[in-house]
Structure 1
Amino acid sequence: MSTTTSYADEYRRSMEDPGGFWLDAAGLIDWMRPPARALDSGSAPLYRWFPDGTLNVSANALDRWVAAGRGDQVALAYDSAMTGSKRTFTYAELLHEVELFAGVLRQNGVERGDRVAIYLPMTPEAVIAMLACARIGAVHSVIFGGFAANELAVRIQDAAPKLIVTSSGGLEPGRVVEYLPIVEKALAMIVGDRSVAGTVTSSITVVSEDELSVEAVIVRNREAVPGDAAAFDGRVGVRWLDLEDQLSRAEPVAPVELAATDPLYILYTSGTTGTPKGVVRDNGGYAVALAWSMRNIYDVHAGDVMWTASDVGWVVGHSYIVYGPLLAGATTVLYEGKPIGTPDAGAFWRMVEEYRVKVLFSAPTAVRAIRREDPALEHLAGYDTSSLEALFLAGERLDTETYHWIDEALHCPVVDHWWQTETGWAIAANPRGIEPLPVKPGSPTVPVPGYRVGIVDGKGRPISPGVEGNIVLELPLPPGSLPTLWGGDEKYVASYLTAFPGHYATGDSGYLDDDGYVYVMGRTDDVINVAGHRLSTGGLEEALNHHPAVAEVAVIGIRDELKGQRAAGFVTLKHGTVIDHDVLVTELVALVRETVGPVAAFRDVTVLDRLPKTRSGKILRKTMRQIADGEPYKVPATIEDPTVLTALEAALGR
């Protein structure tokens, strides 16, 4: 931990001398040609970081640590709660696997700039495939394993990959998901083969088999989910190849030299419909930002163990399962399982004890799931979690009730931080590697060096501290943030840079306090307008979360003929809780009246077994609002369990 500088000093320098600040940070990376310039601003509002630098991210994640004598250190620890299988890879072993996988890509015609779609479960091949793409300059596009065929097809058509890397299947509690029929159906949709695809949606432009970008599908046959690539070979005019057979004939490949501004990957934002938004991440800026963040935000260094309990299909998995920890020379943990039910609510604490995890990164929804199943944290007492120095949470708003519950139970700090798929790393955080700052529950603390956070009204005018408005980020965004969207700069500018000129529109609402702490209250479309009064869903949810029976809560605005909108609350109860519904509603209404005030006119409460969520834990408020208002809706591709929507409809009498 730094003892020679303060957060204020670091932040001030990043604002006053961003070029010097980020060129210094670039020293954390091994360059093939070190950059002399930090920023190319010639095409503002589009910016490119380290335009004259060259490097290879895969070599930075693996080769340099082997060369530095860390080859015998564990780089990747794999733990599947679904199958009971475990495996570790040292840096030398992981490097060998990546070199050979790069050989498989090469022998199938993949070259620099080609795209590779990765549709895999949480198994080591996912990490290996990503690093192999980075090694040869191929652009990977990881698609969450188990996505439905239509959503897979939309992403394949947009990215136009030459190759798909997949598995025979994935495992969810109580069910098996076979991937090969899904991949076949997705490809059939693109070429209009209705005998396989059935209905082809309007979001897909049908092409001939000759025009299909995909030339081959590489299949890893998984023992737990038997599947045979040979049985699919030739279908939809594509070669289907067995990974083990391909590896047996592959030659190891050395890392290629890439421009810092070359794309490293495309990651599609969750919940997209129609034409998806593919976030592009570059090589150099991303590597520098992640290396800096590992040291200065997470306080993770070479030899430390970091476990990010997410999925490689999400941005958190890209940044802090795969690239970040390996760029820091740390050990990263890959977990195939859930916070509860695999087998119980002690799963996280078992992992911390077994792998001596220093930093755990998860989502508030995982903590709330544990709280619901084990409110007294009885499982925690059964494990030695003394290695844990910090629990980082992100992905959605961390309510103060959940924060206090887990913070009081653990012996280490709980750190809320805020970022987006588009930014690739934290916008606001408590910078533990620079100077741990006082915690204010409900706030992800302060802007990270490099990010100038502002609060503006609908016309872009700055708002005073303590007043909620639109959260914007002044351009240029720091390294690691998206330089553009796949398919054109125009789409990027229109989507993010037009609403508030000179700024990136986050789409979130919130405020800054007098100390400069950031408060993120929710998406701007989650603001409820009750008879002209703008109410934040975050503030209402905060009030409801204080009830001792409530495990999780979502508040949405539903249509009201008199007031325009009214707030409706949806709650789940802690495991084993029994309370009369009318009593619960009376107490929740009183909490909102006391905390927010009578202006909220809050009276609607629905108790559910589960809230509708994405697989990454975000509550599907828009879909809930559509159901409550009786509007037609589309089941989001990212939903964790579609049956929850049916239960919601029944609860609302729809």
Structure 2
Amino acid sequence: MASRYHETYEAWRRDPEAFWAEAAAEIDWVKPWDKVFDPSLGGYGRWFAGAQCNTCYNCLDRHVERGRPGQPAIIYDSPITGAQASYTFEETLERVNAMAAILVDHGVARGDRVIIYMPMIPEAVMAMLACARIGAVHSVVFGGFAARELATRIDDATPKAIIAASCGIEPGRVIAYKPLLDAAVEMAVHKPDACFVLQRTQAPAELTRPQDRDLGALMDEALALGRKIECVPVEATDPLYILYTSGTTGQPKGVVRDNGGHMVALKWTMENHYGVEPGEVFWAASDVGWVVGHSYIVYAPLLHGATTVVFEGKPVGTPDAGTFWRVIAEHNVVALFTAPTAFRAIKKEDPEGKLIGDHDLASFRTLFLAGERADPDTLAWAEDKLGVPVVDHWWQTETGWPIVGNPVGLGMLPVKHGSPTVPMPGYDVQVLDDAGHPLPAGTLGNVVVKLPLPPGCLPTLWNAPERFHASYLEDFPGYYKTADAGIMDEDGYLFVMARTDDIINVAGHRLSTGAMEEVLASHKDVAECAVVGISDSLKGQAPCGFVVLKAGVNRPHSEIEKELVALVREKIGPVAAFKLAITVERLPKTRSGKILRATMRQIADGAEYRMPATIDDPAILEEIESALKDRGLAV
């Protein structure tokens, strides 16, 4: 079908307030707004000022009341434990009511904070919704986070209560959460009133502190009594949650998300961007500890009346590189949203895509990729092997929903590999030089968004308005700084090339590491790669490429590395000064799959570095250091 994108984007541009007022009609409001947008509030203005609402009501109650009580709301699939379960909207509402009752019984009220420290289990979703139901502000901390990192979040959010599980389960290991939680509470200055622990059979916890409560036992009791808690009306501009993201100072930044604008934006995206209908099954293969989990495991699908999948597993190793196809086939998933890293891992293990043929993917329509730059080679592989549209899109923890994408629901635009396509309504995306001047098409520069940001984006940082202004609004007055570097082409397509920190200066030339990674990834033997700029006494910085080879590649590494150097020289030119490619077994990543390029650069430069809180496996850093020392670096 012909795309309606251009007319939709122009409708927003002509009258942003009318556009978002129309979108807001999809949400049930306790009280309508006084102003669609009030520019006098907050750092750059606030959406739906004066309105009252409740996010949990819009996710659950209204679907139960209007014909969806028996439709699955949550499908739980855990290849790690072998467990599966399905909860209808009515059953989910019963459990959320029970959890809300427990919180209320322990003094948690509107505006209080609750930290959630859980793995990928249905109760994590229910805990978030229970907080939203009573107007409490949740802050999900990725399960298994180090005690010191959890302690900093406890002190910043000052929670009334913590909801945790006794353990998380990774392939081949069980991670006990309770000792980490106890150590964090011990370190923290702020002490929560209660710690609710859901006991998992793989590693039950000892509940020895006076604040400890057995969440499962309390839930059983509340369910047996049929406890019901009415939804608490909150202001549209009240916070729904705080989600901490890494800060350059080492002190995490608490991204705030409001209630009203968040619902409006997410509900709009499900139909218009993702092309999903109410009643269909949508799967975001992420974790509730990340923004993708908040937006597209929990809130957006449930607001829309779709079914969401809670998956406790990995793209490979649980048990193999075909687990994604099994989940899609068994649960009739119509759209999958995951990180490019997941597909690179699948491609490395099953380069021919043979495991795809073992499953009936008749229901599957669209693959969405986001979270890290999607290299054209991985996109082309996914298109070829799956035979469905592969949609790269780009957004951030701070925005909560896509800044740039290819709107499936409005009709897809032509795909350009390497580009997440075009700005979504609400986002006036521009590319500026360092002095804030617009750059011509095809020129690398700073990607910014003209203020105001649309509904659903962060209005501030938790208890840190000055830091919010300094981090995002100060460098380019009138714009939000994404801290990404990119190019806008003559058709208005954005190419996000790297974080601005990853733009390297080689003998006065500003070069994109993302462009070099594209070239390396195009080599037939390369599964994934990362390029970082390392200190060079002559040129200032020099690029260094780390590559992981596909399974079954038996050629000498030195031979492949020479080919890679020649390939970059051919495709980008001598200006890149690319002379160093290093083969490694693995790349260091966060648990959400982002490659830790800054840490790799610090190791290569021999600089002191802080162990990233989100790192998946710290041992990989030692492997990187060893590989660099073999080349006379990292000394």
Task: Tell me whether the two structures share a fold, i.e. TM-score over 0.5.
Answer: yes
In 2, Cα distance between the equivalents of 1:99 and 1:139? 16
In 2, Cα distance between the equivalents of 1:424 and 1:477? 11
In 2, Cα distance between the equivalents of 1:227 and 1:344? 30
Which residue pairs with 1:498 in the alignment? 474
In 2, Cα distance between the equivalents of 1:441 and 1:58? 38
Task: Kindly state the Cα deviation for residue 300 of structure 1 after the two structures are TM-superposed.
Answer: 1.1
**Change over 3 Å in CA distance of 1:315–1:470 after alignment to 2:** same
In 2, Cα distance between the equivalents of 1:508 and 1:413? 26
Equivalent runs, 1:16-415 vs 2, <5 Å: 16-43=14-41, 45-190=43-188, 207=189, 212-229=190-207, 232-234=208-210, 239-250=211-222, 251-270=227-246, 274-415=250-391
In 2, Cα distance between the equivalents of 1:304 and 1:244? 30
Report the secondary structure of 1:332's partner residue. Answer: strand
**Which deviates more, 251-260 or 622-631?**
251-260
**Change over 3 Å in CA distance of 1:228–1:45 after alignment to 2:** closer
**Which deviates more, 319-328 or 600-609?**
600-609
In 2, Cα distance between the equivalents of 1:479 and 1:350? 36
In 1, Cα distance between the equivalents of 2:154 and 2:379? 39
Task: Kindly state the Cα deviation for residue 480 of structure 1 after the two structures are TM-superposed.
Answer: 0.3
In 2, Cα distance between the equivalents of 1:270 and 1:349? 33
Which residue pairs with 1:624 in the alignment? 600
Write the deviation string for residues 334-377 of structure 1: whole angstroms up to 9, x where unpaired.
00000000000000000000000000000000000000000011
Equivalent runs, 1:510-525 vs 2, <5 Å: 510-525=486-501
Report the secondary structure of 2:107's partner residue. Answer: coil
Write the deviation string for residues 581-634 of structure 1: whole angstroms up to 9, x where unpaired.
221121101110111001111111111110011001111011000000111111
**Retained in 1: the 8 A contact 2:561–2:583?**
no
In 2, Cα distance between the equivalents of 1:261 and 1:43? 10
**Retained in 1: the 8 A contact 2:185–2:191?**
no
Number of equivalences: 626
Task: Kindly state the Cα deviation for residue 233 of structure 1 after the two structures are TM-superposed.
Answer: 2.0
RMSD: 1.2
In 2, Cα distance between the equivalents of 1:296 and 1:36? 27
**Change over 3 Å in CA distance of 1:44–1:463 after alignment to 2:** farther
Any unmatched runs of 5+ in structure 1? 191-206
Task: Kindly state the Cα deviation for residue 559 of structure 1 after the two structures are TM-superposed.
Answer: 0.6
Specify the code of the residue in structure 1 equivalent to 2:274.
Y
Task: Kindly state the Cα deviation for residue 453 of structure 1 after the two structures are TM-superposed.
Answer: 0.1
Report the secondary structure of 1:278's partner residue. Answer: strand
In 2, Cα distance between the equivalents of 1:247 and 1:590? 62
> TM-score, length-normalised on structure 2?
0.97
In 1, Cα distance between the equivalents of 2:180 and 2:534? 36
In 2, Cα distance between the equivalents of 1:355 and 1:71? 19
Q: Percent identity?
A: 56
Task: Kindly state the Cα deviation for residue 247 of structure 1 after the two structures are TM-superposed.
Answer: 2.1
In 1, Cα distance between the equivalents of 2:268 and 2:567? 42
In 2, Cα distance between the equivalents of 1:245 and 1:317? 27
Specify the code of the residue in structure 2 equivalent to 1:222.
R
Specify the code of the residue in structure 2 equivalent to 1:184.
D
Report the secondary structure of 2:67's partner residue. Answer: helix
Task: Kindly state the Cα deviation for residue 245 of structure 1 after the two structures are TM-superposed.
Answer: 2.5
Specify the code of the residue in structure 2 equivalent to 1:245.
A
**Retained in 2: the 8 A contact 1:271–1:638?**
no
425, 443, 449: which one aligns with 1:449: 425
**Retained in 1: the 8 A contact 2:95–2:219?**
no
In 1, Cα distance between the equivalents of 2:611 and 2:174? 21
**Retained in 2: the 8 A contact 1:465–1:512?**
yes
In 1, Cα distance between the equivalents of 2:296 and 2:249? 27
Specify the code of the residue in structure 2 equivalent to 1:635.
M
Specify the code of the residue in structure 2 equivalent to 1:73.
Q
Would you identify which runs of 4 or more consecutive aligned residues in structure 1 move more than 6 Å?
Answer: none
Specify the code of the residue in structure 2 equivalent to 1:228.
E
Write the deviation string for residues 53-100 of structure 1: whole angstroms up to 9, x where unpaired.
111110000000010111000000001111000000000000000011
**Which deviates more, 12-21 or 451-460?**
12-21
In 1, Cα distance between the equivalents of 2:78 and 2:246? 25
**Retained in 2: the 8 A contact 1:543–1:591?**
yes
Task: Kindly state the Cα deviation for residue 272 of structure 1 after the two structures are TM-superposed.
Answer: 6.0
> TM-score, length-normalised on structure 1?
0.94
In 2, Cα distance between the equivalents of 1:443 and 1:316? 20
